[in-house]
Amino acid sequence: MDLSLSSEEIETRDWVRNFVRREIMPLEPEALRRERAHQPGVTADEFKELRDKARRFGFWGIQTPEEYGGMNLSAVLAALIEVELGRSFVPFRFGGSADNILFHANDSQRQEYLLPTIEGERISCFAITEPGAGSDATAIRTTARKDGSDWIINGEKTFITGGNEADFTMVFAITDPDKGVNGGVTCFLADREMGWKSEYIDTMGEWGPAALVFDEVRVPERNILGELGQGFALAMQWIGRGRYLLPARAVGACERLMEMAMEHARNRVTFGEPIANRQAIQWMIADSAVEVEALRWLVLSAAWQVDQGMDSRHAQSMAKLFGGVKANEIVDRMLQIHGGMGYTRELPLERWYRELRLLRIYEGTDEIQRRTIARNLLKGYASVRGVLG
Ligand SMILES: Cc1cc2nc3c(=O)[nH]c(=O)nc-3n(C[C@H](O)[C@H](O)[C@H](O)COP(=O)(O)OP(=O)(O)OC[C@H]3O[C@@H](n4cnc5c(N)ncnc54)[C@H](O)[C@@H]3O)c2cc1C
C-alpha cells in the first residue's frame, strides 16, 4: 500500500499552500475588522482579483472538465487543495466552476447559464430547502403549474446560500402532486428578473443565506433543467456532489487552530511556567492531533473512492460526520487554550467557532449522516470491515 503523493500532487498542493500564505492570509486582519463593522470581510471585487490572479497560474475550474477550460483534477487533489484553503477563514474559492447539475444544461441553457457561470459572469444558487422541508426534502411544497408554454411557481425556499447575490436559481418545485418525489418534482432555472424575491437571514456565521419567495413567478418551459419530473434525482446529485470537500476544509482549519494554540501555549506563562508544560494542555493538543489525522485519512479515503469510481457515499457520510463533530470539539479546545483572548473578536478563534458549527447542520446534519451510515451497515450495503474488506 502506497499512501504517498505523486510529484504532481505535491507541486499543486504546495502552489496552493503558498497562494494561501501570500495572498489570502494577509487579508485576515482587515477581513476581521470589516466583519466587526458588519461589512463583507472581502468584497466581491477583491475576490475576483484573487481568482484572476490564480487563473494566470492556471488555477481555474479545479474539478471542471477540460473541455470547459477547467483543470479536471482528481478528487484526492481537490481534497488536498481544500485542506490548504481551509487554513484561512477567508472564504476564498478558485473560479471557473459551476454546480454539477448545471452540466445537464441543454445547448441553449449552456450558453445562457452554464458558460457564464463558469466564467463568473453569472451567480447561481441551489434552492430545495423550505421552512417545512430540510432534512426531509421529500416534504417540499413549492408548486409549479403549467400555463401555456410557461410554468408558474409558488412557494418559499429558505437558508439558500448565495440567494442574496444570485441572479438565477435552480429551484425545485412539484409539477405532479400525485407522483411527488417519484417523478413529480422538476428543477427550473429561474432568473431573478422573472420575479422571485430574496431576503437576508441573519445567522451566527458570517455568510447570510436567503429566504426566496416565489409568488406567481412565470418561468418558460425551456428553462426546465434536465427532464420534467426528474428534479429530485438532480437535487440528490447536487447534495452528494462532493461531501468529502466540507470536512477537507475543516482539516485545514483544525491544523491552523492547533498551530495557533501551540504557539500560544509555548508563550503563555502561568504560575511560573508556560502552559504548554501542563498535562491538561498537552492532552488537548494530543487528542486533537490524533483526531485531525484520523479525519484527514477519512477524507482522503472518501476522495480516493470517488476517483476509483466506487460508490463512495458511505465513506463521504463518515468523513462529513466525523469532520463536523471533531472540528467543533477541536475549535472549542483551541479556544480554551487561548483563555479569555480566545473569546475576543481580536483573534479569529471565535469566528471559526461560529463558522465550524454550521458543518454539523448543512448538507446533511450529523443525525442524518448517522442515519445513512447505520442504514448502510444494517442493510448490508457497507461493511464494518471498511473498504478493504
Ligand atoms: C447557513 C446555511 C446554508 C444552507 N444552504 C442551503 C442551500 O444553499 N440550499 C438549500 O437548499 N439548503 C440549504 N441549507 C439548508 C440545510 O441543508 C438544512 O438546514 C438542513 O438540511 C437541516 O434541515 P432543517 O434546518 O430543516 O432541520 P430539520 O430537518 O428540521 O432538523 C431538525 C433537527 O432534527 C434532526 N432530525 C431530522 N430528521 C431526523 C431523523 N429522521 N432522525 C433523527 N434526527 C432527525 C436534525 O438532525 C436536526 O438536529 C442551508 C442551511 C444553513 C444553516
Q: pLDDT tens for residues 158-171?
A: 999 999 999 999 99
In which band, very low, low, confident or very high, does the pLDDT at 266 lie, cut at 50, 70 and 90? very high
28 Cβ partners below 8 Å, 6+ apart? 88, 89, 90, 348
Q: What average pLDDT does the segment 257-281 reach?
A: 98
Protein residue with least CA distance to atom 31, ligand 1? 135
What's the pLDDT at 297?
98
Percent of the chain with pLDDT over 70: 100
156 touches ligand 1 (CB under 6 Å): no
CA–CA separation, 241 vs 243, rounded Å? 6
Determine the residue of 358, 361, 366, 370 to mutate for testing ligand 1's pocket, defined as the one with the most ligand atoms within 8 A of the Cβ atom.
361
Protein residue with least CA distance to atom 44, ligand 1? 367
What's the pLDDT at 132?
97
In which band, very low, low, confident or very high, does the pLDDT at 389 lie, cut at 50, 70 and 90? confident
What's the pLDDT at 240?
84
In which band, very low, low, confident or very high, does the pLDDT at 238 lie, cut at 50, 70 and 90? very high
Q: Which of 144, 16, 161 is nearest to 78 (CA)?
A: 16
CA–CA separation, 288 vs 89, rounded Å? 19
pLDDT greater at residue 207 or residue 141? 141
Determine the residue of 129, 243, 371 to mutate for testing ligand 1's pocket, defined as the one with the most ligand atoms within 8 A of the Cβ atom.
129
Q: What average pLDDT does the segment 55-80 reach?
A: 97
135 touches ligand 1 (CB under 6 Å): yes
Read off the C-alpha cell for 375. 442504514
134 touches ligand 1 (CB under 6 Å): yes
Q: What average pLDDT does the segment 237-250 reach?
A: 93
Question: pLDDT tens digits for 337-384?
Answer: 999 999 999 999 999 999 999 999 999 999 999 999 999 999 999 999
What's the pLDDT at 17?
98
Percent of the chain with pLDDT over 90: 97
Q: What average pLDDT does the segment 135-143 reach?
A: 97
In which band, very low, low, confident or very high, does the pLDDT at 184 lie, cut at 50, 70 and 90? very high
CA–CA separation, 350 vs 274, rounded Å? 23
CA of 317 to the centre of ligand 1 (A): 15
Determine the residue of 126, 236, 362 to mutate for testing ligand 1's pocket, defined as the one with the most ligand atoms within 8 A of the Cβ atom.
362
Q: What average pLDDT does the segment 212-229 reach?
A: 98
Q: What average pLDDT does the segment 228-251 reach?
A: 95
Q: Report the SS3 class of residue 220.
A: strand
CA–CA separation, 220 vs 226, rounded Å? 14
Protein residue with least CA distance to atom 16, ligand 1? 362
pLDDT at 299 over 90: yes
> For ligand 1, what atom is nearest to the CA of residue 368?
47
What's the pLDDT at 241?
83
pTM value?
A: 0.96
Q: What average pLDDT does the segment 294-319 reach?
A: 96
Question: pLDDT tens digits for 27-64?
Answer: 999 999 999 999 999 999 999 999 999 999 999 999 99
What's the pLDDT at 304?
96
What's the pLDDT at 147?
97
DSSP 130: B
